[in-house]
Amino acid sequence: MPSLSERLAAALEVPGEHVIDPWSAPLAYLTQAIALGARFVRGAELLKGTFDGAWRLDTTAGEIVADTVINTAGLYGDLVDDRLGLGAGFRIKPRKGQFVVLDKAACRHVPRIILPVPTEITKGIVVCPTAFGNVLVGPTAEEQEDRVRATVETETLETLVRRAAEIVPALAGIPVTAVYAGLRPASEEKGYRVFVRPERRAITLGGIRSTGLSSALGLAQHALKLHAGFAGGYRPPENIPAIATPNLAECRERDWQRPDHGEIVCHCELVTRREIEATFESAVPPGDFGGLRRRTRAGMGRCQGFYCNARLAEMTKGKLATPLAVEKEGKQ
């Protein structure tokens, strides 16, 4: 890779690595589950669970009765186990990761994932292309107590930008499109925290950290095998429908390149009206603006929604839990 710094002494190529859209995969899993008869409930915080041969879950959205409970609550995994009366066999220790997203002009300099030598704590600062045509730099690995709030710090972000330029000098001076931080559900141990309680028909998949996307299907298969050992067993459906989510990646044809898309609403990311309308007609419509952004890329470009948010507010009126525009005295 000619853009790499001459200071780098050696590199190891890892075949089979790919860059993917991280949000479409879990959306496809949920959509497929709904097609098989599952029901998903938003805004249902677990308050308490009791087991008397069947689970009765007291939630903020009402009572839910279940034959089996599988705890995949991420940052709240230990608290959910505690509220279920299972006893928290582990403790979540949130680990924050800060990221910088560079402008699309950076992508020609970074055609592959560049991963430094990992340490015991972190994989290191990764410089890699995204499926959306940008370059991602990060993450950091910072432990904290807060499970909700992940802040970004200017000094840390500037360090990430400098580190990227040390690895790929051509990235120096390329504008930053966005910055963000996320929390990983790490625990007090490095390994996954998997617990099975057959007598109470409960499985816990905790401490999954940042490998959740790549390990999700394997963990689901493992949970299915554990569940097969419960009384009554489980027979998976014979006909599983194939699910295709809308393409958001730059490696394939986007909707704006097709006829009759209605209009381009977000010009930074070339998101069409048809794409936005389709999300609300799907089996899993977005519940808030964050979900809409991840589903369509609208508002995620250079201007971060400065030019398209007014149009998005008009199109999504009455459809999101928190509206984009606030109405006062009958006027928007």
pTM, two decimal places: 0.90
Instruction: Tell me: do 109 and 180 sit in the same domain.
Output: yes
Nearest CA-CA partner of 9 in 112, 169, 140, 117? 117
Instruction: Tell me: do 108 and 134 sit in the same domain.
Output: yes
C-beta of residue 99 within 8 angstroms of C-beta of residue 137: yes
Higher pLDDT, 157 or 327: 157
In Å, how far from its chain's centre is CA 81? 22
C-beta of residue 115 within 8 angstroms of C-beta of residue 107: no
pLDDT band at residue 332 using 50, 70 and 90 as cut-offs: low
Residue 329, pLDDT score: 59
Instruction: Tell me: do 201 and 174 sit in the same domain.
Output: no
Instruction: Judge whether 165 lies within some domain.
Output: yes
Residue 279, token pair as written in the block: 């999300």
Instruction: Tell me: do 81 and 204 sit in the same domain.
Output: yes
Residue 117, pLDDT score: 79
Instruction: Tell me: do 109 and 174 sit in the same domain.
Output: yes
Strand, coil or helix: 180 = strand
Instruction: Judge whether 162 lies within some domain.
Output: yes
The number of folded domains in the chain is 3
Nearest CA-CA partner of 105 in 3, 5, 24? 3
Write out the residue range of the structural domain in which residue 102 sits.
Answer: 95-184
Instruction: Tell me: do 167 and 303 sit in the same domain.
Output: no
Instruction: Tell me: do 178 and 99 sit in the same domain.
Output: yes
Residue 330, pLDDT score: 56
pLDDT band at residue 46 using 50, 70 and 90 as cut-offs: very high
Instruction: Tell me: do 155 and 213 sit in the same domain.
Output: no
C-beta of residue 186 within 8 angstroms of C-beta of residue 209: yes
Instruction: Tell me: do 113 and 172 sit in the same domain.
Output: yes
Instruction: Tell me: do 43 and 123 sit in the same domain.
Output: no
Q: What is the mean pLDDT of residues 99-119?
A: 91
pLDDT of 203 strictly over 80: yes
Q: What is the pLDDT of residues 218-237, one digit of tens each?
A: 999 999 999 999 988 777 88
Parallel/antiparallel/unpaired status of strands 126-129 and 135-138: antiparallel
Could you tell me the CATH number of the domain that includes residue 203? 3.50.50.60
Instruction: Tell me: do 112 and 168 sit in the same domain.
Output: yes
Q: What is the pLDDT of residues 264-322, one digit of tens each?
A: 999 999 999 999 999 999 999 999 999 999 999 999 999 999 999 999 999 999 999 98
C-beta of residue 304 within 8 angstroms of C-beta of residue 284: no
Instruction: Tell me: do 49 and 83 sit in the same domain.
Output: yes
Could you tell me the CATH number of the domain that includes residue 178? 3.30.9.10
